[in-house]
Structure 1
Amino acid sequence: MQDELSPDTKEQLNEATSTWEDWTPSPIGRPTPKQQLGGITNLSFLVTDGPGQWVVRLNSDVTDGGISRSNELAALASAHRAGISPPMVFSNQNFLVSKYCPGDMPTLMDLAEIGSLFADIHSLNVSVPPIDLLTHLEAYQFQVRDMQITPDRDVADCYSRVMAMPKPKITTRVLCHQDLTLSNMIKTNSGIVAIDWEYARQSDPAYDLAVFTYTHELTQKQFSDLLNSYARHEAELPQRVDYFQRVYAMIEIFWSLIRGGEINTGKLRALLDSA
């Protein structure tokens, strides 16, 4: 498999596995790569020493103000203690190693378990800084400008409309994953767990639900099922989810621009026009 990797990636992966004696618990020998796993922001690899398997995530060097490695480690530790995330065995600024968790990506047929997972995450007592999501969005817009990327007029119009929306009153801040979509969940024999906590912050819980709802285009029935299993009754939660879907959509557009990806404002514009 290593022959298919770029020289830089091969060097990073070799550097990661060279630390195997410092992993807790440590393998019986230096693990070797078995296969490349999925990943959009970061590259991840399944490695093995024979009886044991781990996931090595090589951290992206793309500047992203939403990522905090210290927040991620704090959230990971708490989530693992609660049984909703695999254990981390080693980390530094360049990579993170966690125990491999066998399972499959859940589907929208699993909304009852997914809602409970959100509730479990939002119940964790973790000391990480809060995030102001409009300030975060504005920072992405500045990064796009500083990279001399010129968005088209439609992007600029959507951004202006999102920033002008009436901001709901936020009465609750909890630990939020901030990127919890189906691709960051694993359905195991003992339940659904969450991975990739690098965006974790204290925020309005409605934002987490908005990320999931927007990404997977939940119907009203599916959204109701999600909230029923979430079972945290908060004032105007559906309205706040609706608001944060638009904020998240704009964040995703700038995120894609920064990484050179394709963008489509049609889905966000439809939401804005329906307000």
Structure 2
Amino acid sequence: MSEQAITRAAGLSCFQNPKDIKLLGGGITNVNLTVTDEGKQYVVRLGSDIPEHGVMRWNELALSQAAAQAGFSPQVIHHEHGVLVLEFLTATTFTEQDVTNPANLPRIIDLMSRVHHELGRVLTQPVLAFWPYQVNRTYITRLNASGSRHKSLLPDLLAQVKRLEFATGPVDLVIGHNDLLAANILDDGTRLWLIDWEYGGYNSPLFDLAGLASNNGLSEPQERAMLEQYFNAAPDQYWRPYQAMKCASLMRETLWSMTSEIHSELDFDYAQYTSENLDRLTAALSDFANT
């Protein structure tokens, strides 16, 4: 796969004299490479639609272009079927420790607030909605049909989906990123950038906030401070629906990994990733039951 990816990147029409083509770590739904051409460096993302995950590359492209126009993401240099070429940013990729750093967390929350309030204004193409409860029900249905090794867990997870969706209640809609892993946040020393719009689309802002917390291990005081900063209001009124979305985010990541165990051909330990997320989900559901 690596040799095929390098050959594909080298043959793209947007490059004049591609050199130093190297695999770029981090992608677990696609293959990423860096390419140097005419003195400039680029990122090449290779990946087709992934129906089992709801990934549609036309949706990723539309949101990547809009996010670049709004100044939140790197510029889209070229695109064709299964290929997205982006400008390379000289920046540090965040880790979970970077996200929870008190110096960084307020910056990330400010970035998400601006994305939610500004990105939709420059978006001129239809994009998908990402409703986590529909996403999770779909995963559960497909995992049952596929004979997942986790099949015994699915009935209880489906029952939890119903409880969590009811607790979420009415929502406001924004353009969400919907995949706030630490590795999707970059810091160039001056500002933060957001990358990877595979799952972007209309959603409640609570899902991005919950995903940021659940994917990066925020403490409860950090979560409450995050909600207070984002909404400029006391966090208590948002706490229960936020907790429901936090469980939904962790369930989605868990079901995503269960599905990848069956369908993905990438070299990644999905079984271990499933186990880690199941532990986080179990803890979050316990906290939610006590709210």
TM-score range, shorter chain: 0.7 to 0.9
Partner of 2:144: 145
- Please, which of 100, 108, 111 is the counterpart of residue 105 of structure 2? 111
Q: Which letter does structure 2 place at the counterpart of 1:79?
A: A
Partner of 2:6: 13
SS of the residue 2:128 aligns to: coil
Range 131-140 or range 200-209, more displaced: 131-140
Q: CA deviation at 1:229?
A: 4.0
- 76 and 232 in structure 1: CA distance in 2 versus 1, 3 angstrom threshold: farther
- Answer whether contact 2:179 2:199 (CA < 8 A) is retained: yes
Deviation by residue 1:195-239 (Cα, 9 ceiling, x = unmatched): 000111101110111111111121122223333443465994333
- Please, which of 44, 52, 57 is the counterpart of residue 40 of structure 2? 52
SS of the residue 2:51 aligns to: coil
- 20 and 146 in structure 1: CA distance in 2 versus 1, 3 angstrom threshold: same
Cα distance in 1 between the residues matched to 2:175 and 2:153:
33
Q: CA deviation at 1:160?
A: 2.2
Partner of 1:271: 284
Q: CA RMSD in A?
A: 2.3
Deviation by residue 1:95-128 (Cα, 9 ceiling, x = unmatched): 2110111111231221011001111110111342
Q: CA deviation at 1:65?
A: 4.0
Q: CA deviation at 1:53?
A: 0.4
- Answer whether contact 1:129 1:201 (CA < 8 A) is retained: yes
- Answer whether contact 1:89 1:99 (CA < 8 A) is retained: yes
Identity over the aligned pairs, expressed in percent? 25
- Please, which of 114, 117, 122 is the counterpart of residue 120 of structure 1? 114
Which aligned pairs between 1:207-222 and structure 2 lie closer than 5 A?
Answer: 207-222=207-222
- Answer whether contact 2:24 2:33 (CA < 8 A) is retained: yes
Range 56-65 or range 173-182, more displaced: 56-65
Q: CA deviation at 1:61?
A: 6.2
Cα distance in 1 between the residues matched to 2:281 and 2:105:
24
- Answer whether contact 1:36 1:45 (CA < 8 A) is retained: yes
Cα distance in 2 between the residues matched to 1:132 and 1:231:
21
Cα distance in 2 between the residues matched to 1:235 and 1:169:
15
Partner of 1:24: none
Cα distance in 1 between the residues matched to 2:23 and 2:53:
30
Q: Which letter does structure 1 place at the counterpart of 2:226?
A: L
Cα distance in 2 between the residues matched to 1:35 and 1:271:
35
Q: Which letter does structure 2 place at the counterpart of 1:185?
A: I
Partner of 1:5: none
Cα distance in 1 between the residues matched to 2:52 and 2:193:
25
Structure 1: gaps (5+ residues): 1-7, 22-26
- Answer whether contact 2:5 2:31 (CA < 8 A) is retained: no
Cα distance in 1 between the residues matched to 2:23 and 2:153:
40
**Normalized against structure 2, the TM-score is what?**
0.81
Cα distance in 1 between the residues matched to 2:82 and 2:60:
13
Partner of 1:238: 239
Q: CA deviation at 1:42?
A: 1.4
SS of the residue 1:140 aligns to: helix
Which aligned pairs between 1:181-220 and structure 2 lie closer than 5 A?
Answer: 181-220=181-220
SS of the residue 2:107 aligns to: helix
Partner of 2:129: 130
* Equivalent residues, number: 263
SS of the residue 1:149 aligns to: coil
Partner of 2:73: 85
Q: CA deviation at 1:62?
A: 4.6
**Normalized against structure 1, the TM-score is what?**
0.86
Partner of 1:36: 24
Cα distance in 2 between the residues matched to 1:273 and 1:204:
23
- Answer whether contact 2:133 2:248 (CA < 8 A) is retained: yes
Partner of 1:255: 256
Partner of 1:171: 171
Cα distance in 1 between the residues matched to 2:149 and 2:23:
38
Q: CA deviation at 1:60?
A: 5.4
Q: Which letter does structure 1 place at the counterpart of 2:84?
A: L
Structure 2: gaps (5+ residues): 262-269
- 32 and 18 in structure 1: CA distance in 2 versus 1, 3 angstrom threshold: farther
Q: CA deviation at 1:35?
A: 4.1
Cα distance in 2 between the residues matched to 1:147 and 1:54:
38
Range 134-143 or range 200-209, more displaced: 134-143
